[in-house]
Structure 1
């Protein structure tokens, strides 16, 4: 056994049959573009986005074994670093060439944001001639359903949901200059820049450092209230605190505000497929309504 130098995604630790069962993928996966598209679609529509460990007062644990125990073996989800590390390990196990990236979530804002989002740059083995790389974004919680070609600037319609990549800010002081990229998503009011990134390689240790900030900083949007998302072909469900929103591909939105905190465990199970175990339902309710801060 050799020491782990921190490269790669420990695909050898992934229980691939259990993962494929979790996302409902049938057959023997091969390292092809068709397989990658099918895996991406199955992952984002099966494993939800959620930050509940933080609200329950527990650390978010990364590493293939910890992520698999939570996202695969249980009816739970996670946020981008968990999703991206799991998907990277799966793809590595199958035989894809995987490079991690980090992005800055902007949601239309013009100011510089912290690099708190995880993405994957994926190729078939051997870099087939003429085949573009694919940008996988399984951890945002709101799609895309399938990877986007990079480089590529075409607007992509995926079952009514719209996405596109655009060239962004270029770092001209470097030799050669480094091209930045922007991910845009189509909403009811048109296109919105969702996040920006460059093609600079990130590693597992980077995920751990950035995840620690996201899960502990009072400036992080995920340390103040429960947040969950579930994406599918026909809807995006979002729980933000005690507000439930359902958005359709055409932009139509339904909102249910001021859900009673006591209802949250049932809403998470019914709407998001997130099942809290043991004392966690009580702990979540207590954390949200403030009835017991020692959760």
Structure 2
């Protein structure tokens, strides 16, 4: 039997599965079924926050599985899309799901071309023929897998409203757009193609996102916590609570408040040194359109 090239895998055999499942509070069946996939997506998206704080604190963002486990499981921190997807993909591999990774372009209503720096997963369960989008690294759900069907249209995931549309790209390939309902009505949040991506591809995007002065994640803290009834965003010193009906509550924080809000709202406890470093800087309020 020809050995599998590990660069094509997500290193699931190296995952401490018990620790990961305890971290997200999963207690279901460890089988590659659709019911299990739904439970895993819901548990991960509502437990592990989205955050870029390692970049802001002057450290890199390694994507090797040991680093992901140390940060997101043992230290109970969050991560952005590449980190969340890397950890979740390792778990899917251990469960026996068939899946490929994909890259997307985060638009949030923008008209200018954005780089493909968002990580997603295309998953199939053992007991279901359909193909499912799992978007565990966006910081705003969906709470459950979304069927990749051309006629999917508008749907709800819990109380949150989405719309999925398929078009063709410049060479006739599939190009999907996921829309989300919010304070400005329907807004396209990202587009993605179904071309398979691998860990090495995400390493390239991760380098840009974590180091480029054109990346919003190198400019200020950006943290998200998604729950069934509310989504919290910390953008610089602007804290916004977003609700499924499109309403929001906005509060401008003092820099000294950041560690307390991170702990109490976003479930991120910084140690004393990191908290002190974070409050020494002068972070801007939310930067619109970035």
Q: TM-score by structure 2 length? A: 0.93
1:22-74 deviation digits (Å, cap 9, x = unpaired) = 11111332100111011000000000000000000000010111111111111
Q: CA separation of 1:18/1:282 partners in 2, compared to 1, >3 Å: closer, same or farther?
A: same
Name 1:247's counterpart in structure 2.
242
Match of 1:80 in 2: 81
Question: 269, 272, 275: which is aligned to 2:269?
Answer: 275
Task: Determine if contact 1:103/1:116 at 8 Å carries over to the other structure.
Answer: yes
Query: 3-state SS of the aligned residue for 2:169?
Result: strand
- C-alpha distance in 2 between matches for 1:3 and 1:199: 22
Q: Please give the alpha-carbon distance, in whole angstroms, between the structure 1 residues aligned to 2:72 and 2:14.
A: 14
Change (3 A) 1:182 1:289: closer
Structure 2 CA distance for aligned equivalents of residues 224 and 270 of structure 1: 24
Cα deviation digits, residues 224-264 of structure 1 (max 9, x gap): 0001000001100000111111011111211111x111111
Aligned to 1:56: 57
Matches within 5 A, 1:105-254: 105-125=106-126, 128=128, 131-152=129-150, 153-172=152-171, 177-254=172-249
**SS of structure 2 residue aligned to 1:280:** helix
Kept in 2, the 8 Å contact 1:168–1:196? The answer is no
Question: 144-153 vs 132-141, which deviates more?
Answer: 144-153
Q: Does 1:24 align with 2:25?
A: yes
Look up the SS of the partner of 1:6 in the other structure. helix
Deviations 1:67-119 (A, max 9, x none): 11111111210000000111111001100012000000111122221001000
| Residues 7-46 of structure 1 mapped to structure 2, 5 A cutoff | 7-46=8-47
Aligned residues: 281
**What corresponds to 2:259 in structure 1?**
265
Superposition deviation, residue 3 in structure 1 = 8.6
**Residue number in structure 2 paired with 1:256:** 251
Write the distance in 2 (CA, Å) between the matches of 1:286 and 1:6: 40
Cα deviation per residue 1:170-202 (whole Å; 9 max; x = unaligned)? Answer: 233xxxx31111111111232111111111010
Which SS does the other structure have where 1:141 is aligned? Answer: coil
Corresponding residue SS for 2:35: helix
Distance 1:11 1:5 in 2: 10
CA distance in 2, matches of 1:192, 1:7: 34
Residue 90 of structure 1 is matched in structure 2 by: 91
| Structure 2: 5+ residue stretches without partners | 285-290
